[in-house]
């Protein structure tokens, strides 16, 4: 580690002779560029979904960073991070206030704290890294800038429990649907999203940021803040090669995976039904809720069978507001609907294990047509302050779920053995973390199931953004994804990322679809976030180690290997 610090110190001492991007831009102009960049970034996400903006949205930010001193560049990156965070999560402050029964000002206060700690701080680190990379004359800069951005997104997804909301690559998810004449631009988004089976959503972000960084180089030449057209042309060539490679790979993979979806070399298609109750259980549990809403889910299940009996039915998280494994009367009521259809049921419900005190779990159950419990999965990655309390003294944030005061993380367990195949279940926010879904695939899941209860956030913008985020898991692991949400969208997403069928948010309805069980592991399933970690190493080495060092990456890699051996 001392070698790295020595290199970094040498590099800081050489900053006076490093390359400059001209005189600093006026502060008002830099701020205008930052705000314009954040606005375009937000518009690339739902509800606008102007996906092509993701290819240009960061260019004004990068130009502003380059035409600023280091301290101002870091501050501008922080301002961008806070502005972008509010733009993609403006629904959150009122949701916090409603969920915890607190004043709206407290919702904004908690939002600002979380946005600074779990978003803006990472982008400030990116701003410093990008500024240093440019000043040191690292070339080609576009891929290194992309690596620095991916490193910031990796930090957002890992630090303080992780906040993967609004990662740039998710702008390209959810672009295709069966039978719809999607535009050329939407087909392009779907094609570039296919690189996620190599490097996850980080690979998609990498391609997009490289294009933005090349445009920033061109911009700097145009305003005469940079010296050389040849440098800009080289950066554009590098970004163009990377973009064309991504589109080429995506087109080939789309053709291959579409064949699997159509049945070539795959298992038989299994008819399923997804029930979307659109029922509000409130932000706080009441004993009056016990057993409520079962009649609505049973009625919708009967109605879904009018198009032919499904072999597998999915209800959302917390659809069963009772301890189903301890309630034979309720199970007999469910069996009266399932048995004539010959269908199994996957549904969310609480579970507890007796003890002093009892231990409670947020679970998904697999029920047979006769109503017996065949298997269950207990949620392992709990939501802070909602399902467990990291601050024991924060009593005003606590909520209860019947007898459940606090959920316990579940123990590792295999997929649910449904008649459609091995189902890898992730409950609610677990689906936002690819590393959690990866574990399900490595455990043998042939398709993925996401049960969610989003009724406490009555926002269409949230619902669509969440759906696009979770849809990326289908591409990353080449599995069918079944999403059953209380308030929607519920959907079937194919392994290519196409939406086979989906519901509208905030409606009470059902959905029919077909899924297949697939096997095999993608590159991303095998190696996880290795690409993102390599980006972190490359960006850190480029920013911290001095120009002309003969062993920069070797020093960093050696230190990492040393830490790995010690661990």
Q: Which residues contact 400 (CB under 8 A, 6 or more apart)?
A: 284, 285
Task: For residue 275, give the CATH number of its domain.
Answer: 3.60.110.10
pLDDT over threshold 60, residue 14: no
Answer whether 528's CB lies under 8 Å from 477's CB: no
Count of beta carbons in the 10 Å neighbourhood of residue 415:
22
Answer whether 7's CB lies under 8 Å from 555's CB: yes
pLDDT over threshold 70, residue 144: yes
**Count of structural domains, the chain:** 2
Residue with tokens 């077909």: 514
Q: Tell which wins on pLDDT, 383 or 281.
A: 383
Containing 493, the helix (H) or strand (E) segment is: strand 491-493
Peptide bond into 489 cis (omega under 30): yes
DSSP conformation class of 223: T
Q: How confident is the model at residue 1 (pLDDT cuts 50, 70, 90)?
A: very low
pLDDT for 56 equals 97
Among 442, 465, 466, 460, smallest CA distance to 450 is for: 466
CA separation, residue 390 to residues 161, 272, 336, 384, 405 (Å) = 11, 38, 42, 7, 13
Q: Are residues 12 and 44 in the same domain?
A: yes
Q: Are residues 54 and 138 in the same domain?
A: yes
pLDDT average, residue stretch 264-276:
87
pLDDT for 267 equals 76
pLDDT over threshold 80, residue 514: yes
Residue 489 maps to a domain = yes
pLDDT average, residue stretch 395-410:
57
pLDDT over threshold 60, residue 171: yes
pTM: 0.90
pLDDT for 323 equals 94
- SS3 percent helix, strand, coil of the chain, rounded to 5, is 55, 15, 35
pLDDT in tens, 345-354: 999 999 999 8
Q: Are residues 541 and 398 in the same domain?
A: no
pLDDT average, residue stretch 396-419:
71
Q: Are residues 63 and 211 in the same domain?
A: yes
Containing 484, the helix (H) or strand (E) segment is: strand 481-485
pLDDT over threshold 80, residue 393: no
DSSP lists the bridge partners of residue 376 as 365
pLDDT for 451 equals 98
Mean model confidence pLDDT for the chain: 87
Q: How far apart are CA 384 and CA 406, in angstroms?
A: 10
Count of beta carbons in the 10 Å neighbourhood of residue 342:
12
Q: Are residues 319 and 199 in the same domain?
A: no
Q: Are residues 43 and 124 in the same domain?
A: yes
Bridging pattern class, strands 312-314 and 270-276: parallel
Q: Tell which wins on pLDDT, 553 or 95.
A: 95
Structure tokens at 25: 């831009």
Residue 447 maps to a domain = yes
pLDDT in tens, 299-321: 999 999 998 999 999 999 999 99
Q: How far apart are CA 67 and CA 221, in angstroms?
A: 12
Which of 498, 517, 536 is a domain's end point?
517
pLDDT average, residue stretch 315-328:
94
Answer whether 420's CB lies under 8 Å from 504's CB: no
Q: Are residues 349 and 220 in the same domain?
A: no
Answer whether 425's CB lies under 8 Å from 440's CB: yes
pLDDT over threshold 60, residue 168: yes
Polymer length in residues for the chain? 567
Q: Are residues 169 and 204 in the same domain?
A: yes
Q: Are residues 80 and 203 in the same domain?
A: yes
Residue 40 maps to a domain = yes
Within the chain, what is the greatest distance between any pair of CA atoms?
A: 80
Got the DSSP string for 105-138?
Answer: HHHHHHHHHHHIIIIIHHHHHHHHHHHHHHHTT-
pLDDT in tens, 57-97: 999 999 999 999 999 999 999 999 999 999 999 998 988 88
pLDDT for 6 equals 44
pLDDT in tens, 185-244: 678 899 999 999 999 999 999 999 999 999 999 999 887 755 678 888 889 999 999 999
Residue 522 maps to a domain = no
Residue 409 maps to a domain = yes
* Range from 11-25, 46-60, 147-161, 386-400 carrying the lowest mean pLDDT: 11-25
The backbone torsions φ and ψ at residue 496, rounded to the nearest 5 degrees and listed phi first, read -85, -5
Peptide bond into 140 cis (omega under 30): yes
Count of beta carbons in the 10 Å neighbourhood of residue 125:
20
Residue 565 backbone class (left: φ over 0; alpha: ψ -120 to 50; beta: rest): alpha
pLDDT for 265 equals 63
Residue 449 maps to a domain = yes
DSSP lists the bridge partners of residue 251 as none
Q: Are residues 80 and 13 in the same domain?
A: yes
pLDDT for 160 equals 85
Residue 555 maps to a domain = yes
Q: Are residues 234 and 273 in the same domain?
A: no
Q: Are residues 253 and 272 in the same domain?
A: no
Q: How confident is the model at residue 11 (pLDDT cuts 50, 70, 90)?
A: very low
Q: How confident is the model at residue 564 (pLDDT cuts 50, 70, 90)?
A: very low
- Structural domain boundaries enclosing 351: 267-517
Q: What is the percent of the chain where pLDDT is above 70?
A: 85
């Amino acid at each position: 580690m001392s070698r790295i610090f020595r290199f970094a110190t040498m590099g800081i001492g050489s900053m006076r002779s490093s390359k400059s991007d001209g005189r600093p831009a006026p502060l008002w102009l830099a701020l205008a560029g930052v705000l314009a960049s954040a606005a375009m970034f937000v518009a690339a996400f739902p509800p606008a979904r102007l996906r092509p903006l993701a290819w240009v949205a960061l260019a004004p930010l990068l130009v502003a960073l380059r035409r600023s001193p280091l301290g101002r560049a870091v501050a501008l990156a922080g301002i961008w991070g806070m502005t972008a965070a509010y733009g993609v999560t403006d629904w959150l402050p009122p949701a916090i206030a409603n969920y915890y029964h607190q004043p709206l000002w407290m919702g904004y206060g908690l939002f600002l704290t979380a946005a600074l700690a779990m978003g803006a701080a990472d982008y400030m680190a990116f701003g410093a890294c990008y500024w240093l990379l440019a000043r040191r004359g690292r070339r080609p800069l576009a891929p290194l800038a992309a690596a620095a951005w991916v490193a910031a997104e990796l930090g957002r997804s890992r630090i303080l429990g992780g906040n993967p909301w609004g990662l740039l690559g998710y702008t390209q998810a959810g672009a295709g649907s069966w039978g719809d004449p999607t535009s050329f631009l939407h087909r392009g988004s779907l094609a570039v999203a296919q690189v996620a089976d190599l490097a996850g959503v980080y690979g998609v972000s990498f391609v997009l940021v490289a294009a933005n960084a090349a445009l920033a180089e061109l911009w700097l030449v145009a305003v005469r803040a940079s010296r050389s057209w040849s440098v800009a042309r080289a950066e554009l060539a590098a970004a163009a090669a990377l973009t064309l490679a991504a589109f080429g790979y995506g087109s080939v993979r789309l053709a291959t995976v579409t064949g699997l979806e159509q049945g070539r070399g795959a298992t038989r298609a299994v008819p399923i039904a997804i029930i979307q109750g659109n029922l509000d259980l409130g932000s706080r549990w009441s004993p009056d809720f016990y057993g409520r809403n079962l009649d609505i889910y049973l009625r919708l299940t009967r109605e879904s069978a009018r198009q032919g009996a499904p072999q597998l039915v999915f209800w959302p998280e917390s659809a069963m507001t009772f301890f189903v494994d301890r309630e034979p009367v309720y199970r007999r009521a469910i069996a009266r609907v399932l048995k004539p259809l010959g269908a199994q049921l996957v549904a969310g419900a609480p579970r507890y294990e007796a003890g002093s005190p009892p231990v409670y779990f947020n679970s998904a159950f697999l029920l047979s047509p006769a109503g017996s419990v065949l298997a269950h999965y207990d949620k392992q990655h709990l939501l802070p302050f909602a399902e467990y309390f990291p601050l024991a003294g924060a009593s005003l944030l606590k909520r209860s779920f019947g007898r459940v005061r606090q959920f316990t993380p579940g123990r590792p367990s295999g997929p649910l053995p449904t008649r459609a195949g091995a189902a890898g279940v992730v409950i609610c926010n677990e689906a936002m973390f690819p590393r959690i879904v990866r574990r399900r695939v490595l455990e043998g899941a042939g398709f993925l199931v996401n049960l969610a209860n989003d009724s406490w956030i009555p926002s269409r913008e949230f619902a669509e953004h969440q759906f696009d985020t979770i849809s990326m898991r289908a591409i990353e692991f080449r599995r069918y994804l079944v999403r059953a949400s209380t308030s929607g969208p519920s959907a079937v997403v194919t392994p290519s990322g196409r939406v086979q069928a989906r519901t509208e948010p905030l409606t009470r309805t059902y959905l029919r679809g077909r899924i297949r069980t697939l096997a095999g592991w993608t590159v991303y399933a095998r190696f996880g976030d290795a690409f993102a970690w390599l980006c972190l190493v490359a960006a850190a080495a480029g920013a911290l180690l001095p120009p002309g060092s003969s062993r920069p990456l070797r020093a960093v890699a050696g230190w990492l290997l040393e830490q790995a051996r010690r661990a």
